[in-house]
Amino acid sequence: MELKDKNLYYVGGVVRDEILGLPSLDIDYCYEGDAIKFAKSRGLNIIKENPDFGTVRVFFEEQEIDIASTRTERYPKPGHLPVVEQIGCPLIDDLKRRDFTVNAMAKNTLSGEIYDYFDSQKDLKSKKLRVLHKNSFIDDPSRIIRGLKFLARFGFELDIETKVLQEEYLENINYDMSYHRIKKELRESFNLNSDKLLQKFINEKIYKLLSPEQAIPEIKGSAEALVNLVKIHNPWIVYAGLFDLSTLELTKDEADIIGAFDNLKTVSFESEWGLYRMFSGCPLESVILWGLVREYDLAYHYLKSLRQIKPSVTGNDLIKLGVERGKLYKEIFDFLAEEKLKNPELTKEEELELIKSKYL
């Protein structure tokens, strides 16, 4: 059974997805009025409530559901997080604060009626992203990156007036903004298949949002093709890492990737073995970044083949041979790796023979 009430609506992305005939990632409910009072009056099992925002999380039919009160917001400082102005406002005012018309519909949970005040369904049909007012990007520039996300996911394009507003904003960015949301949207936008998005990010100068002085990278090949060769946890950084990310708060892993990438730019190598050594211990994301701006074919070669080449001999084998643990181990493994690169067909027995003849 679903939760139903005459004042309770599905809102935003979930209505959009339903009209598109697609499954939703999450379901957002909004209550026209005070959602916390509603949850209490219905005797719902409340897990968490946040009176400042008028939101409540309940446990219903084995599921956690978030219900927001209708609210209006105000931006005390452009680009910063908004503050709540009124909780329990009319539905239409809640819908007005949203990013694009396609995300500003509500569907009544009881009657199933769709509330479409801004020609959202028309825009949805013609795959247009249209902001609800002309200050939208000034209030919240992360909406520009949300636009990219919906381009990637659904093939939506900016409506012409919205495109002009985006261009105007990108010509005159207020860098005193909340980068937290920018990062969140980048993470969600740049996914596994994002070559097209990267082109747009560059061509439309959206990268300028990140920081004032951005060098524009010259991309040497398909990021997608490199990403598809390996398993990585954070595809977004393979795209965004081509730009200056100093305004974003990075996790340790992300910072390590950027650090190793910066390092790679200064290292040189002379042979395949040199390349192998240069990349060993480097996060794969850093290798991809290096390939995208430096030697694409070499990065491809490393990610596809070279990195798989490893000696068959193990530490245990060395112990059996009577080699004492210590510095010699690393030397032997380096030697074997180099031999193996020269001749990937080398068998374990041949590796052992090589060790015996050189070291024992």
Between CA 297 and CA 26 the distance in angstroms is 40
- By C-beta, is 151 or 289 nearer to ligand ATP? 151
Q: At what angle do helices 327-342 and 272-279 cross, to 10 degrees?
A: 130
Interface region with ligand ATP, contact rule CB under 6 A, candidates 23-31, 48-56, 222-230, 322-330: 23-31
Q: Is 21 in the site for ligand ATP (CB under 6 A)?
A: no
120 binds, among ligand ATP, Mg ion, none (CB under 5 to 8 A by kind): none
Q: Is 28 in the site for ligand ATP (CB under 6 A)?
A: yes
SS3 at position 86: strand
**Which of 26, 171, 213, 270 forms a contact with Mg ion (CB under 5 A)?**
26
- By C-beta, is 13 or 241 nearer to ligand ATP? 13
Please name the helix (run of DSSP H) or strand (run of DSSP E) that holds residue 47, with its range, or none: strand 45-50
Minimum distance of Mg ion from residue 12's CB (angstroms):
6
Q: Give ∠ CA 279-283-286 in degrees, rounded to 5.
A: 80
Longest CA–CA separation in the chain, Å: 84
| Residues constituting the chain | 360
Question: How many residues lie near ligand ATP (CB under 6 A)?
Answer: 13
Q: Amino acid identity, residue 237?
A: I
103 binds, among Mg ion, ligand ATP, none (CB under 5 to 8 A by kind): ligand ATP
Interface region with Mg ion, contact rule CB under 5 A, candidates 6-14, 99-107, 145-153, 190-198: 6-14
Residue sitting closest to Mg ion (CB): 13
Q: Is 71 in the site for ligand ATP (CB under 6 A)?
A: no
Interface region with Mg ion, contact rule CB under 5 A, candidates 21-29, 287-295, 319-327, 349-357: 21-29
Footprint of ligand ATP on 134-193 (CB under 6 A): 140, 142-143, 146
143 binds, among Mg ion, ligand ATP, none (CB under 5 to 8 A by kind): ligand ATP
CA 66 to chain CA centroid, nearest Å: 23
Interface region with Mg ion, contact rule CB under 5 A, candidates 10-18, 91-99, 135-143, 309-317: 10-18
Q: Is 99 in the site for ligand ATP (CB under 6 A)?
A: yes
Interface region with ligand ATP, contact rule CB under 6 A, candidates 58-66, 98-106, 271-279, 335-343: 98-106
Between CA 43 and CA 283 the distance in angstroms is 51
Q: Is 171 in the site for Mg ion (CB under 5 A)?
A: no
Q: What contacts 102, CB < 8 A, 6 or more positions away?
A: 16, 120, 123, 124, 128, 129, 130, 150, 156
**Which of 8, 9, 10, 12 forms a contact with ligand ATP (CB under 6 A)?**
12
**Is 17 in contact with 26 (CB distance < 8 Å)?**
no
Q: At what angle do helices 142-154 and 160-171 cross, to 10 degrees?
A: 140
CA 214 to chain CA centroid, nearest Å: 20
- Partnered with residue 64 across adjacent β-strands are 59
Between CA 164 and CA 232 the distance in angstroms is 36
According to DSSP, residue 149 is labeled H
Q: Is 33 in the site for ligand ATP (CB under 6 A)?
A: no
Interface residues toward ligand ATP, by CB under 6 A: 12-13, 25-26, 28, 98-99, 103-104, 140, 142-143, 146
